[in-house]
C-alpha cells in the first residue's frame, strides 16, 4: 500500500512538472515565442512502429513489448513473454526510408531491450558555384544518413507501477562538402556528429478496469554543435491515458476489444499536440486501427490493420495522409514467445 501511494505521488508530481511551464507563463504574463525548426536530429522523433502510428502515436500508456522503447520504455515493464523481436519500415515523404528493429528479453530482474533505426535520405546532387552559363557545376552525389542504437530497461516495481529508461547513441552524417579551392582542386570537409540521448518514463495501472496513465520524456541530450551552428535535440514530454472500453460492457473480452488511447504532447519545437487513437480487436487476433493528431501542418488521419499474436506472429500496416506531401506507408512484423 505504501509503495502504491508513492507511485501515485510520482505520477502526480510528473503531471505538475509537465504542466508547470504553461502555468508559469500565464502567471507572469510572458509572451510565448515560437521555436519551430530549431532542433536537430529530427529523425529521433519518427514513429517507427506501424501499429502505434495507426493509433496516432498515442502509445505512452499502452503496455507493450520491444516496440515500447520507441514511445515509453516503461510500458515494457509488464511484458509477460520471454522474448520479442520486431522489424519495421517507414516509407516517408521525399523518398526517405526509415528501417527499424527492436528486441526485448524478460529476466527475473526486469525486461532488457535493444532498439535501433537507420535513415536512408537517398542521394543529393552536390553543386558548387561556377562562372559557366548555368551558374553552377555538379561535383557528384552526396548520400546523407542517420542512425540510432538504444539500450532499454524496464521493471514493474509493483503490480500497478512500472518505470523504464533508454540510453541511445545517435549519429548523423551529412557527407562531405567542398569548402575551398586549394591549388586548383577542391578541399572537402566531412560533416558528421554523434551524441548520447536519454529517454525515461513511468506507467501506472489505476486499478479501475484497464485504465492506465503514464508520462514519458524522450530525447534528453546536451546542446550539440554541427560545424559552427549549435542546436538542441527534439526533447518531448508526453502525458497519456488508455483504456479498453469493452470493460464497461458485458461483452465477451475474448471476442471484442476496443482500446481508446489519448496523449498530450509538448515538443520542444512545435505547438502542443493532442493524439487520439483507437484499436478494435476481434477474437484477440484481427485488428482495425485509426488515429488522429492535432494541430499539425499537413499530417491527417492514420488508419491501419493487423494480425495480433497468431502463433506468436504480429503483422501491421498503416497508411497516413500527409496532404501535399503525399502518403506515408508503414509496415511492421514481429514475433514473440
Identify the band that residue 129 occupies on the pLDDT scale cut at 50, 70 and 90. Answer: confident
pTM of this structure: 0.86
**Residue 99, domain member (yes or no):** yes
Cell of 193: 556528429
Instruction: Give the three-state DSSP class for 285.
Output: coil
pLDDT at 180: 66
Identify the band that residue 307 occupies on the pLDDT scale cut at 50, 70 and 90. Answer: very high
Q: How far apart are CA 162 and CA 179, in angstroms?
A: 51
Is 240 a residue whose pLDDT tops 90?
Answer: yes
**Residue 56, domain member (yes or no):** yes
Q: How far apart are CA 264 and CA 12, in angstroms?
A: 15
pLDDT at 259: 97
Q: What is the mean pLDDT of residues 231-253?
A: 95
The phi-psi region of residue 325 (left if phi > 0; otherwise alpha if psi is between -120 and 50; otherwise beta) is: alpha
CATH code, domain carrying 109? 2.40.160.60
**Residue 274, domain member (yes or no):** yes
pLDDT at 133: 85
Residue entry with cell 486499478: 207
The upper half-sphere exposure of residue 73, i.e. CA atoms within 13 Å in the direction of its Cβ, equals 29
Is 225 a residue whose pLDDT tops 70?
Answer: yes
**Residue 75, domain member (yes or no):** yes
The phi-psi region of residue 281 (left if phi > 0; otherwise alpha if psi is between -120 and 50; otherwise beta) is: beta
* Longest distance between any two alpha carbons in the chain, whole Å: 82
Name which residue leads in pLDDT, 237 or 138. 237
Cell of 286: 484481427
Highest mean pLDDT among 5-19, 23-37, 88-102: 88-102
Positions of E strands within the chain:
83-91, 97-107, 110-120, 124-129, 136-142, 145-156, 161-182, 185-205, 212-220, 224-226, 229-231, 236-244, 256-267, 273-282, 286-294, 302-310, 313-321, 327-336
**Residue 177, domain member (yes or no):** yes
Q: What is the mean pLDDT of residues 13-36?
A: 47
What burial letters (b/e) apply to 296-323, b meaning 16+ CB within 10 Å?
eeebeebbbbbebeeeeebbbbbbbebe
Identify the band that residue 98 occupies on the pLDDT scale cut at 50, 70 and 90. Answer: very high
**Residue 10, domain member (yes or no):** no
Pick the range with the lowest mean pLDDT from 18-22, 94-98, 106-110: 18-22
**Residue 158, domain member (yes or no):** yes
Angle formed at CA 148 by CA 142 and CA 151, multiple of 5 degrees: 165
Is 6 a residue whose pLDDT tops 70?
Answer: no
Q: How far apart are CA 240 and CA 216, in angstroms?
A: 9
Identify the band that residue 308 occupies on the pLDDT scale cut at 50, 70 and 90. Answer: very high
pLDDT at 270: 85
Count of CB atoms situated within 10 Å of the CB of 76: 33
Q: What is the mean pLDDT of residues 212-239?
A: 92
Cell of 17: 512538472
Domain that holds residue 101: 36-336
Identify the band that residue 226 occupies on the pLDDT scale cut at 50, 70 and 90. Answer: confident
Is 20 a residue whose pLDDT tops 50?
Answer: no
Confirm if 57 and 71 have CB atoms less than 8 A apart.
yes
Q: How far is CA 187 from CA 9, 184, 275, in A?
A: 58, 9, 48
Name which residue leads in pLDDT, 211 or 14. 211
pLDDT at 181: 61
Cell of 42: 529530427
Residue 164, strand partner residues = 154, 201
**Residue 57, domain member (yes or no):** yes
Identify the band that residue 25 occupies on the pLDDT scale cut at 50, 70 and 90. Answer: very low
Confirm if 85 and 103 have CB atoms less than 8 A apart.
yes
The torsion defined by the Cα of 213, 311, 49 and 266, in degrees rounded to 10, comes to 0
Q: What is the mean pLDDT of residues 186-196?
A: 84
Mean residue pLDDT across the chain: 88
Residue entry with cell 488515429: 291
pLDDT at 229: 82
Instruction: Give the three-state DSSP class for 320.
Output: strand
Q: How far is CA 196 from CA 188, 267, 279, in A?
A: 27, 19, 34
Q: How far apart are CA 46 and CA 334, in angstroms?
A: 19
pLDDT at 125: 85
Q: What is the pLDDT of residues 247-301, one digit of tens each?
A: 999 999 889 999 999 999 999 988 899 999 999 999 999 999 999 999 998 999 9
- If one counts the domains in the chain, the total is 1
Amino acid at each position: 500500500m505504501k509503495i502504491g501511494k508513492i507511485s501515485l505521488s510520482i505520477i502526480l508530481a510528473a503531471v505538475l512538472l509537465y504542466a508547470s511551464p504553461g502555468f508559469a507563463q500565464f502567471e507572469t504574463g510572458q509572451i510565448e515565442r515560437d521555436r519551430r525548426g530549431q532542433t536537430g536530429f529530427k529523425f529521433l522523433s519518427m514513429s517507427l512502429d506501424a501499429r502505434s502510428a495507426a493509433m496516432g502515436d498515442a502509445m505512452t500508456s499502452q503496455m507493450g513489448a520491444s516496440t515500447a522503447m520507441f514511445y515509453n520504455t516503461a510500458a515494457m515493464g509488464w511484458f509477460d513473454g520471454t522474448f520479442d523481436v520486431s522489424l519495421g519500415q517507414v516509407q516517408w515523404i521525399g523518398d526517405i526510408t526509415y528501417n527499424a528493429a527492436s528486441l526485448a528479453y524478460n529476466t527475473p530482474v526486469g525486461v532488457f531491450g535493444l532498439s535501433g533505426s537507420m535513415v536512408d535520405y537517398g542521394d543529393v546532387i552536390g553543386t558548387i558555384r561556377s562562372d559557366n552559363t548555368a551558374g553552377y557545376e555538379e561535383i557528384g552525389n552526396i548520400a546523407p544518413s542517420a542512425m540510432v542504437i538504444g539500450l532499454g530497461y524496464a521493471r514493474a516495481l509493483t503490480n500497478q507501477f512500472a518505470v523504464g529508461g533508454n540510453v541511445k547513441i545517435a549519429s548523423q552524417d551529412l557527407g562531405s562538402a567542398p569548402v575551398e579551392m586549394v591549388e586548383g582542386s577542391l578541399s572537402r570537409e566531412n560533416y558528421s556528429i554523434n551524441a548520447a540521448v536519454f529517454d525515461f518514463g513511468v506507467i501506472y495501472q489505476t486499478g479501475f478496469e484497464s485504465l492506465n496513465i503514464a508520462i514519458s520524456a524522450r530525447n534528453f541530450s546536451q546542446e550539440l554543435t554541427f560545424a559552427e551552428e549549435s542546436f538542441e535535440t527534439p526533447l518531448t514530454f508526453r502525458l497519456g491515458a488508455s483504456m479498453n472500453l469493452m470493460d464497461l460492457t458485458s461483452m465477451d473480452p475474448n471476442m471484442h476489444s476496443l482500446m481508446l488511447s489519448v496523449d498530450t504532447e509538448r515538443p520542444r519545437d512545435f505547438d502542443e499536440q493532442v493524439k487520439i487513437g483507437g484499436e478494435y480487436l476481434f477474437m484477440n487476433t484481427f485488428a482495425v486501427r485509426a488515429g488522429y493528431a492535432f494541430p499539425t501542418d499537413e499530417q491527417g488521419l492514420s488508419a491501419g490493420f493487423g494480425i495480433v499474436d497468431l502463433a506468436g506472429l504480429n503483422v501491421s500496416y498503416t497508411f497516413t495522409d500527409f496532404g501535399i506531401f503525399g502518403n506515408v506507408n508503414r509496415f511492421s512484423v514481429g514475433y514473440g514467445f
